[in-house]
Amino acid sequence: MDADFHLGSWLVQPGLNTISRNGTTAQLEPKMMSVLVCLAEHQGEPVSKEKLLQTVWPDTFVSEGVLVRSISELRRVLGDDAKEPRVIQTIAKRGYRLVVPVTPVSVPVTEPSTSLDSEDEVGPPSRPKWISGLAVAAAALLLISFLVAANVDKMREVWARTSGPQIHSLAVLPLKNLSGDPSQDYFADGMTDELITCLAQISCVRVISYTSTHIYKDTTKTLPEIARELGVDGIVEGSVQRKGVRVRVNAQLVSAPQEMHLWAQSYERDMLDALAVQSTIAETIADQVKIKLIPSQQARLTPSRPVKLNALEAYMQGVHYYSRIGHGFGGEETKKAVEFLEQAISEDPGFTAAYIKLAGIYGNDGEPLSYFKGSVSLQRASIEKALSLDPNSSVVHSALGYIRLTRDWDWAGAETEFKRAVELNTNDPLAHFSLAEYWEAMGRLDQGMHERERAQELDPAMDYISTGFFRARDYDRGIEFVKKRLELTPNDGGLRHQLSTFYTYKGMEKEAIPQLQQAVALFGFDEAAQHMVGAYAVLGYRGALDVLVKDMEGAYHQGRFNRPDLLAEAYVRLGKKDEALRWLQRAYSDHNAAMAFLNVEPFWDPLRSDARFKDLVRRVGLPQ
């Protein structure tokens, strides 16, 4: 049901993801609208939760909880009450049904009054209705004939825009590098990332993140197959070609289910305006999928100022190396990413995107940051500069919130920044993930899972949800989820480490060691990985873990590894509580991000009764 319809006194417009009544309009998230449409298609009939999940999230792993929360939010918007339902009724152990009438939208025909009793009627007597109807019909035919004769192509365009497929979700496939030089792949990748960033500003269309679409580079899969895997109905594909100081971008929009081409255009610009092209394409696509941009979205899509050529080159290289961290390319990727991003800033001190990417690296406690000391202060400085340049950036507010959460332990400040990030860009998976981290640090795991599931919808090939399963002690679902993600990205060191952790806490130590060994190697610690293999063959699980801990302690003291919390966790597994607490104290002194989650991580369950652990919780400021 893509057509507009009335839900009682509400006007529902699925194409716009809006509902309105008495001059008030509310914007719904695309999936929430899909739930409402599915219920409307079966008005008066119970619709099972299974059917709703299969219809609205056919290729996305979500729990029943996300459906329950969608129903709850619909009730809130519609002013409904679950206990005394007037719109959506819960059918115990079956599902939900609409109890309000659903009627299609029809255009009312207004006739002139023919009442002979009207004392207010002015003018000559009206003609009989059939004469008026003929006159109107004749005039309409003449007008249509004139329009067709005047501009057939324009009529076709209008028809296509009013009757074409509805696009509610988009994925941008990696733009092809047509320069003939494989070393320019990084530039095409950077342009793809920028186009996705621009499209994500359109809040009423779900836009899949770059991390989930780049795996389709050079794929042989068909567009319908890709669309099913990503759960989208629209695909943007194209190419980039550089010639000297000029760049040509070709883009086309395809309705994926039917492989119907809806729009295509080529743009040629000076390299200084390369990033501005992506804003233009995003705005054009919004027009093609019949979206009326609100002023704030329009402002976000306004082409940015020109970026200096050398700065743009360095930025694209930095983004390229940043995307390779933890994926088996060695331990130098962080260093190279930082070098190029700092070069971009040196060339163009007003380049906001470079500060944002750099802050992301400085603040990432999950990587072997060997290139610099004092990353927290550098992260903070980068974010503050980015905020001064772009105060309405969702990414900047997410990053600032993460500092408030994990470095400052300022819980109220973190909540404010995360909610602001979601408000600025509902299509930003990082914003939803960051808000989830806050809710979980506060012990509100259900709210955290809701935000994680939203992030996962927006970036299905990434892992935003497994940590939520781990903190909820739901290890079986975590293992199932991570294994599916690894089918798409087998060289993801973070996923390998997460799977190893799930296996360990399930008591599956034999399965855990190979995953941990691969994770260590993918993050660039090849020698430590080999030591693990040898120790496991002779000494078993505990021996392999003990050897790894000794290697990583050495790397920490050499400045090549910055995760004292992981060392503490390993010592907990080995049953060495004093060593574990010593490294947790080091994590506290370093203001390590893990300290914000002391109350919810299963790692620390064996330490919770220890007075030293309780003191750490108190000093961080978490609830006792």
CATH 1.10.10.10 maps onto the chain at 5-104
In sequence order, the β-bridge partners of residue 170 are 207, 234
| Separation CA 160–CA 562 (nearest Å) | 56
Q: Among 25-29, 302-306, 469-473, which stretch is predicted with the lowest mean pLDDT?
A: 302-306
SS3 374: coil
| Separation CA 335–CA 340 (nearest Å) | 9
| Separation CA 266–CA 250 (nearest Å) | 4
| Separation CA 517–CA 531 (nearest Å) | 9
CATH 3.40.50.10610 maps onto the chain at 169-300
**At how many degrees (to 10) do helices 309-322 and 352-362 cross?**
30
Q: Per-residue confidence at 2, pLDDT binned at 50, 70, 90?
A: low
**pLDDT in the model for residue 366:** 43
**pLDDT in the model for residue 514:** 92
**pLDDT in the model for residue 539:** 87
Read off the pLDDT of each residue in 420-443 and give the average, rounded to a whole number.
91
| Separation CA 135–CA 127 (nearest Å) | 11
- Say if residues 97 and 91 touch (Cβ distance below 8 Å): yes
| Separation CA 60–CA 264 (nearest Å) | 29
> What is the number of residues in the chain?
624
Task: Kindly tell me if the per-residue pLDDT of 204 is higher than 70.
Answer: no
| Separation CA 363–CA 341 (nearest Å) | 15
**Secondary structure of the chain: what % helix, strand, coil (to 5)?**
60, 10, 30
- Hey, which of 62-76, 105-119, 385-399, 401-415 has the most confident mean pLDDT? 401-415
- Say if residues 227 and 276 touch (Cβ distance below 8 Å): no
Which pair of tokens denotes residue 49?
């939760």
| Separation CA 242–CA 184 (nearest Å) | 9
Fold of 5-104: Arc Repressor Mutant, subunit A (1.10.10)
Read off the pLDDT of each residue in 205-219 and give the average, rounded to a whole number.
80
Read off the pLDDT of each residue in 35-47 and give the average, rounded to a whole number.
88
Task: Kindly tell me if the per-residue pLDDT of 603 is higher than 90.
Answer: yes
Q: Per-residue confidence at 51, pLDDT binned at 50, 70, 90?
A: confident
Read off the pLDDT of each residue in 516-543 and give the average, rounded to a whole number.
87
Considering the chain, what is the average pLDDT of its residues?
Answer: 79
The residues near 183 (Cβ < 8 Å, ≥ 6 apart) are none
Task: Kindly tell me if the per-residue pLDDT of 54 is higher than 80.
Answer: yes
**pLDDT in the model for residue 3:** 80
| Separation CA 16–CA 290 (nearest Å) | 8
State the DSSP code for 184: G
Residue type for position 249: V
CATH class (in words) of the domain with range 169-300? alpha beta
Percentage with pLDDT > 70 across the chain: 81
State the DSSP code for 305: P
**What tens digit of pLDDT does each residue of 219-261 get?**
888 888 888 888 888 888 888 887 777 888 888 888 887 778 8
**pLDDT in the model for residue 196:** 80
Task: Kindly tell me if the per-residue pLDDT of 488 is higher than 90.
Answer: no
Read off the pLDDT of each residue in 106-123 and give the average, rounded to a whole number.
38
**Closest by Cα among 167, 135, 57 to 453:** 57
**pLDDT in the model for residue 331:** 58
Q: Is the dihedral of CA 339, 341, 346, 347 positive or negative?
A: positive
Where does residue 199 rank: exposed (0-12), middle (13-18), buried (19+ CB within 10 A)?
Answer: buried
**What tens digit of pLDDT does each residue of 355-392 get?**
888 877 776 544 433 334 446 778 888 889 989 988 88
**pLDDT in the model for residue 536:** 87
**pLDDT in the model for residue 116:** 31
Read off the pLDDT of each residue in 95-101 and give the average, rounded to a whole number.
88
Which pair of tokens denotes residue 572?
């907990």
Rounded to the nearest 10°, the torsion over CA 601, 602, 603, 606 is: 120
What is this structure's pTM?
A: 0.62
